[in-house]
Amino acid sequence: MHIGDQWMQLRSRDKTLDQVFDRPFPVGIEYYRPPVPLPEYWDEDFRRISAAGMSIVRVWYSWDWVETLPNHYEFDDLDWLFDLAAQHGLKVWVDTPLGTHMACPAWMLRSHPDMRIVRRDGSVQQNTTGAFAAHGAMTHNFDHPMWRVYVERYLRQFVPRYKDHQALGVWGTWDGIGYAGAWTAPEPYPPYNDYTIAKYKDWLYRNYTLDALNERLLRRYRSWEDVDAPRSKAAPVEMRLYLQFHRENMADHLGWMADLIDRLDGTHEQRSHGGSYPAPHHETVSPQIDSWGLSHHSSNRLTTDEPYSIACEAYGFQWCRAIGRNNRWWNEEIYGSFVGGLHPTEKKTLGQESSLYIWLTLIEGGAGAMFWQYRPEYMTYEAPGLNIAALDGEPTQRLHAATATIAQIDRIADHLPMSIPRADVAIAYSGPSDDAFDFNDQGVQFIQHHRALYRTLWAQSVAMDLVTPAMDWSEYSLVYLPHFAVLDEVAITRLRGLLQATDSLRLVADGYFGTFAGKGHWSFKPPEGLSDLIDCRIADFDVIADFDVGTGKNVVQMECGTFALPAGTTYSILETQGDTAPIATIGDEVVGVRSTDGRFTWYGFALSATASSQVTGQPGVPAPAGLVHDEVATALLATAGVEPWFTLTGDRIVAFRRHSRQGGSLIFALNVERRTARTRVQPRWQIGAARDLLGEQNLALCDGAFELTLGFGEVAVIHCVDI
């Protein structure tokens, strides 16, 4: 049994959720991080928050603020906040102490100096503040033997105090879940305290014999005393195993805490969240909690010449839906803005951006949306950043826009909750491959490549899902494998099953596909574990250099056209054998192949490289944030017979199909460009009537199509009677 398995079993029961909220889609706001805002402002702020149609105020309640002396608790401010929230008809979302951001009480570190995080170089984390924690950031290690003793004692005071309060809404069980110290240490390595390493070695001992460990790590250990934790990502085989331990360890800590809160309460929802985009530990920890979530930036999308880059945020929403328990997730931190500090680097968030993030959360099946935060932090760089209200608490354009959007969503409440039909296209995420790129300081680039096709197809109104090898892919028509570099046992099993099926979906792989074994080292026979099924080998590697761009030797010839690849594009030179045919070349080198039956396609370069000239207008110049060329994306869909749900004629908008609780379909349409869009919408399925729910009017149908007019940042919701 791996760490975490026991809690996965304990947490297998499901609660009846949503009963505490007065709306099927609640919207709220992070409000109180002691000591600000000061209590003198609470009553008026809560009045404004309630008047805006918001249902929730969130409290980021740091442990060191409460248990100021051992077993001495000061809850007076939270008591008043709960009572005041109830008076204003608001629910409280309260964060508990295990959060990655929060400081433990000072007395705890005095009593147990060895609880301080030890970094990989042996240095010890000292007391520190952070951009998010003026009164103290995390210094402690969760693995200390006294950690759970103090956490349980604290929660047995905390949870029963508020579990029956009419204002309690959600327990925030672990905010920003990650390795101990990851938010404060100079580099994001896990901790190296003696007791953590001892715990790791015990985990190894329970899962491996010494001979099996040597085989796993490619080592010659002759004594368990010689086994140690790796201290560099330059040792990928050993670091992969160490990180696997830490991810299961995180899941165990979260599962233990969630089970304790359930035993103390058992009614209210618990949630945790990761970052804005997929990360390798998310799929391990998310089953331990009732719902998953994320935080994300709100600006620099509609204020640039790439307004469709707002898809980058929707991509994170899709990921949360994919891995949330029973697909339940919250958009729990929409940054109110991000101008912040004395040296701002981003534009002010527009009201249209605040509005669209609420809508996109609803469209992607979120349980609700939360802004971070109402007033500025005041005590850190986050003043005046991240706030949706002004420094003096008065409404901003962003708050007015959110208020209007909440009112609009209330008008379609009878159609909620809606359901999301399965897409025809899936994009597969590989956590081990993400690790491989991160170990090589290419983690950001991996995510950019991974979401590139998503960004392209999102702007074309093509429905997509995000999947992992642990999920079922059989119902999709097309699964795209961007940089699926590490093929471990789970991935190999999934892919072999699909490749051996007589009638299956189409797979499209690109980049470093199958170049690493599951252990983390380069494959001896790529594609790893599949070479007997795929009649193609990697003959060599190369990269597009500046010289190639200057002499025109950076051109890839594909079935759908010719594209100039930018300098820095790496590619595999492929050698066809037997049941494959070349479909892409750079000069006389084959860089793309397809099986005779058309079910498997492999490009030796990242398809995101094809978008360089489309986006920049200059052949061979890299695209700024990663897209796949429109023609390449269209050709991929055509090979699998996939079409968008809509034919859109006229100005570009983005449209989504969902199923209404009242029956029929809901079409959500949004305009992200700074112009009025006039568009004819032709659903792919037959409809007998269409009603504009926000405009409260029936739309004229002509051959099953209707016309829409949308201003910048506007959303239309059309209820269709399906035939």
Q: Which domains does the chain have, with CATH numbers?
A: 5-11+25-186+247-415 (3.20.20.80), 425-639 (3.40.50.880), 646-722 (2.60.40.1180)
pLDDT in tens, 376-410: 888 877 778 889 999 999 999 999 999 999 999 99
Spatial contact of 376 and 386, defined as CB atoms under 8 Å apart: yes
Label residues 269-302 b or e (16+ Cβ within 10 Å = b). Answer: bbbbbbbbbbbbbbbbbbbbbbbbbbbbbbbbbb
Write the burial class of residue 319 (CB in 10 Å: 0-12 exposed, 13-18 middle, 19+ buried): buried
Average pLDDT, integer, range 448-464: 97
Can you spell out the DSSP letters for 143-194?
Answer: TSTTHHHHHHHHHHHHHHHHTT-TTEEEEEEETT--STTTTTSSS-PPP--H
pLDDT of residue 378: 85
Distance CA(613)–CA(673), nearest Å, equals 21
Would you say the C-alpha torsion 23, 24, 25, 29 has a positive or negative sign?
positive
Tell whether the model's pLDDT for residue 422 goes beyond 80: yes
Q: How does strand 706-710 pair with strand 677-683?
A: antiparallel
Distance CA(326)–CA(676), nearest Å, equals 38
Tell whether the model's pLDDT for residue 82 goes beyond 80: yes
Tell whether the model's pLDDT for residue 646 goes beyond 80: yes
pLDDT of residue 99: 66
Structure tokens given for 38: 């000061």
Tell whether the model's pLDDT for residue 615 goes beyond 70: no
Can you spell out the DSSP letters for 645-708?
Answer: SEEEEES--EEEEEE-TTSSEEEEEE--SSS-EEEEEEESS-EEEEEETTTTEEPP-BTTBEEE
Q: Distance of CA 247 to CAs 240, 285, 370, 374, 429, Å?
A: 10, 7, 27, 33, 17
Average pLDDT, integer, range 408-432: 97
Q: In what order do the strands lie in the sheet with 478-481?
A: 464-467, 425-428, 478-481, 506-509, 600-603, 589-595, 580-586, 555-558, 561-564
Residue whose pair of structure tokens reads 């400081």 in the numeric block: 103
Tell whether the model's pLDDT for residue 8 goes beyond 60: no
Residue whose pair of structure tokens reads 């994919």 in the numeric block: 322
Average pLDDT, integer, range 25-49: 96
Average pLDDT, integer, range 78-106: 90
pLDDT of residue 377: 83
Spatial contact of 363 and 464, defined as CB atoms under 8 Å apart: no
Tell whether the model's pLDDT for residue 9 goes beyond 50: no
Q: In what order do the strands lie in the sheet with 677-683?
A: 646-650, 677-683, 706-710
Q: Could you give the dihedral angle defined by the CA atoms of residues 679, 626, 333 and 279, in that order, rounded to the nearest 10 degrees?
A: 130
Q: With pLDDT > 90 as the criterion, what percentage of the chain qualifies?
A: 84
pLDDT in tens, 543-574: 999 999 999 999 999 999 999 999 999 999 99
Q: How does strand 580-586 pair with strand 555-558?
A: antiparallel
Tell whether the model's pLDDT for residue 689 goes beyond 80: yes
- Reported as a pLDDT band with limits 50, 70 and 90, residue 13 is low
Average pLDDT, integer, range 485-491: 98
Peptide bond into 421 cis (omega under 30): no
Structure tokens given for 637: 């869909």
Peptide bond into 384 cis (omega under 30): yes
Secondary structure of 285-301 in HEC code, one letter for each residue:
HHHHCCEEEEEECCCCC
Average pLDDT, integer, range 54-69: 94
Average pLDDT, integer, range 350-361: 98
Distance CA(64)–CA(135), nearest Å, equals 9
Residue whose pair of structure tokens reads 């004229």 in the numeric block: 700
Tell whether the model's pLDDT for residue 694 goes beyond 80: yes
What's phi and psi for 535, nearest 5 deg?
Answer: -85, 65
Tell whether the model's pLDDT for residue 185 goes beyond 50: yes
- Reported as a pLDDT band with limits 50, 70 and 90, residue 3 is very low
pLDDT of residue 15: 72
Structure tokens given for 21: 């909220």
Reading phi first (left if > 0) and then psi (alpha if -120 to 50, else beta), residue 641 is in left
pLDDT of residue 619: 67
Average pLDDT, integer, range 326-335: 95
Spatial contact of 54 and 87, defined as CB atoms under 8 Å apart: no
- Average pLDDT of the residues of the chain: 93
Taking the model in full, what pTM does it have? 0.96
